[in-house]
Amino acid sequence: MAPIRLLVGCVLALQVFTAALALERGCPTGTGNNTYANPALSLPYDGYLPAIDNETMYLHHTRHAGGAINNVNAILARYPTLRDSVTLADLVSKIGLKGFTHKYKIADNDTTALRNNAGSMINHAIFWRIMTSYNTSSPAAHLQPDLSALINATWGSPAGMLDALRSSASSLFGSGWAWVVYRSNGSLAIVNTPNQDNPLMQRFAAPATHGTPLLGVDVWEHAYYLRYRNVRASYLAQWVYLVDWAVVQRNYELAKAGSIDSLYC
């Protein structure tokens, strides 16, 4: 009986280990073979009205964000060790670093492609999660005292934080993102990153923008052009009413704990 119990024990341990690996890999996944899948939205495409129209959400989610995921899967197929052993957050954080590039023998053109497409994956996964239905979430109902006090000390109020985020996003030249980030010293800051760069990127994000994203707003024109044309400020004025403060609080707790992969799951 002892060998059977030992075998059963080994099988259970392997199952737990395998489950842990799958969890640690992070989201968005869903294909069962360590490739990535486009995460579902929490609302239907018309659930973001009146801030964002359903056609924009459909195209943004399926074509732009979905296209980046397809590109990442195609690149990682050439690097199975990288695909099978590195989480999305770790990939985004370390892409372009010499040691990381050398370890996985990543070609220069694939480094650039992963910067753009894996950056898009994590950026959009955070973006989808941070939004809820229009004007239904309030900071008073969801922020815990420590985060509320930190926001108030930094910007005067949650509304002041969103005003500062809108101002920063409006000032960004060209395409990119505006973020509220948590820094290792316990402070909060608003930063901008160009294109699909992310504040986690050690190699490509400017040091002044480094931090863990708590929320981010997409200011590529594909995020708003059908409804707002080129008037980014009008989009931002409406977008702030989609912020899910419960997720802001959740992301803050995860950032403090260093659970970066859970931010976009």
* Structure-block tokens of residue 170: 């409006």
pLDDT confidence of residue 32: 65
Average pLDDT, whole number, for the chain? 90
Structural domains of the chain sorted by starting position, each given as residue range(s) with its CATH number in brackets: 48-264 (3.55.40.20)
Closest to 159 (Cα-Cα) out of 173, 145, 143, 146: 143
| 198-236 pLDDT per residue, tens | 999 999 999 999 999 999 999 999 999 999 999 999 999
Q: Whole-prediction pTM value?
A: 0.89
Separation CA 104–CA 85 (nearest Å): 11
Q: How far is CA 18 from CA 21, 22, 130, in A?
A: 5, 6, 29
Task: Determine if residue 124 is labeled as part of a ligand binding site.
Answer: yes
Task: Determine if residue 222 is labeled as part of a ligand binding site.
Answer: yes
- CB of 151 closer than 8 Å to CB of 158: yes
Residue 56 has pLDDT above 70, yes or no: yes
Closest to 103 (Cα-Cα) out of 79, 87, 122: 79
Instruction: Assign 3-state DSSP to the chain and report helix, strand, coil percentages, each to 5.
Output: 60, 10, 30
Task: Determine if residue 218 is labeled as part of a ligand binding site.
Answer: yes
Task: Determine if residue 210 is labeled as part of a ligand binding site.
Answer: no
Residues 6 or more apart whose Cβ sits within 8 Å of residue 56: 222, 223, 224, 225, 226, 227
Which 3 state secondary structure label does DSSP give 11?
helix
* Structure-block tokens of residue 44: 């239907």
